[in-house]
Amino acid sequence: DTGVSQNPRHKITKRGQNVTFRCDPISEHNRLYWYRQTLGQGPEFLTYFQNEAQLEKSRLLSDRFSAERPKGSFSTLEIQRTEQGDSAMYLCASSQRVAPNTPQYFGPGTRLTVL
């Protein structure tokens, strides 16, 4: 078990381009979460999957953002027509659906810079 992994670790793109990030959770974890963290702030919840079902989305997740978890394993987060305000660290976390009292384990994050 290597923990939660995210790729790429860094992404620099020009405004208007589309970007896609990938998250591989801990193998036996069926819950997967995406967060966004801007400089000097705590992470903010974006969306959450239980297996392949996307169960909750934050208002922060505009229609330019889409997340998928097609087989209930890895997940992708796509941002279309990127804007400078999308520049942030995108964090993925996973947990087990055993009980609510299970911790979330975070990946190293993908840092996005939109020029």
Partner 1 sequence: KQEVTQIPAALSVPEGENLVLNCSFTDSAIYNLQWFRQDPGKGLTSLLLIQSSQREQTSGRLNASLDKSSGRSTLYIAASQPGDSATYLCAAPRGYQKVTFGIGTKLQVIP
Binding footprint of partner 1 on the chain (CB under 8 A): 4, 6, 31, 33, 40-45, 48, 55-56, 58, 89, 91, 93, 100-101, 103-109, 111
Pick the closest to residue 55 from 97, 107, 111 (CA basis).
97
**Of 35 and 79, CB closest to partner 1:** 35
Measured from the CB atom, is 70 or 100 closer to partner 1?
100
Instruction: Provide, rounded to whole angstroms, the least separation between the CB of residue 53 and partner 1.
Output: 12
Q: Least distance from C-beta 58 to partner 1, angstroms?
A: 8
Alpha carbon of residue 113 to chain centroid: 15
Residue placing its CB nearer to partner 1 in the complex, 79 or 92:
92
Is residue 35 a contact partner of residue 46, using CB atoms and an 8 Å limit?
yes
- For tokens 């392949």, name the residue: 52
Q: Which residue has the tokens 């911790």?
A: 103
Smallest distance, partner 1 to C-beta of residue 90, A: 10
> Within 10 A of 56 (CB to CB), how many other CB atoms are there?
12
